Amino acid sequence: MRQKKFCAANIGVSVIGQGTWYIDHGDRKSAVAALRRGIDLGMTHIDTAEMYGDAELVVADAIDGQRDRVFIVSKVLPSNASRKGTVQACERSLRRLRTDRLDCYLLHWRGQYPLAETVAAFDELIRAGKIRSWGVSNFDADDLDELFAVAGEGQIACNQVLYHLNERAIEHSVIPCCEANDVAVVAYSPFGHDDFPSPQSAKGKVLADISARLGATPRQVALGFLTRRKSVFAIPKASSAHHAAENAAAGDFVLSAQDIAAIEKAFPLGKEPSSLPMI
């Protein structure tokens, strides 16, 4: 599994990680097995959040006995993101995850509390050794500019945003802004939501042709496309150990310029939206 520098965090992180949204809705044993299989295959970047129900508890079971192998990310809800509330939310997540620190802690999206309060809490948590780095999620370029003014340079590890083949809006302003400021981009929902192209569709055929030539699967090709830039990571969710293995294999190949051009034609960028898409 390839690793890239997680920008301001200055830590090597697997280019393909593991998302956990809704992971607590299925069989607990299968979910834990999928996460462990992913870790064994190098997908050591595991993303969760206090909003995700019991997902942090599932992650705790999966990383039991191997905490030092993984890069754990969790998130604070905007409704909890005051200075005091952020610290308390982090401590709750640490208890649920059965660990003494997070590798990165994110503000899930912007809310009512001033960014300065949340940043102050993040700084406090770093000084206390409870988090190693911090970042944000669902921040557009103008939000990031405000955050840079509050936090200063070199403080923001990542921005986690919606990014898949049918939703490339972040390529307009968000990715360039992040790359210019040494902020990693983490793609959540990289396969979309029940709208991944079928092999019978024109878009699906493009992916199928490329995957057949590479000895890969269409989903692996999609992940390869999304992570083609040095700043971008992806965190697909796997519902089984088999799916985890499929995701992990995507971290070991690089698409050619011809393949990238074919995918860009099949999945056009489109116009920049007035606001950042999120789910």
Active-site annotation, residues: 52
| Range list of β-strands (E), the chain | 3-5, 12-14, 45-47, 71-76, 104-107, 134-137, 156-162, 184-188, 232-234
Nearest to 85 by CA among 50, 37, 54: 50
Which string of b and e fits 86-109 if b means at least 16 CB within 10 Å?
Answer: bbebbeebbebbebebbbbbbbbb
Token couple for 272? 């920049």
Nearest to 172 by CA among 136, 141, 147, 146: 141
Q: Are residues 27 and 262 in contact, defined by beta-carbon separation less than 8 angstroms?
A: no
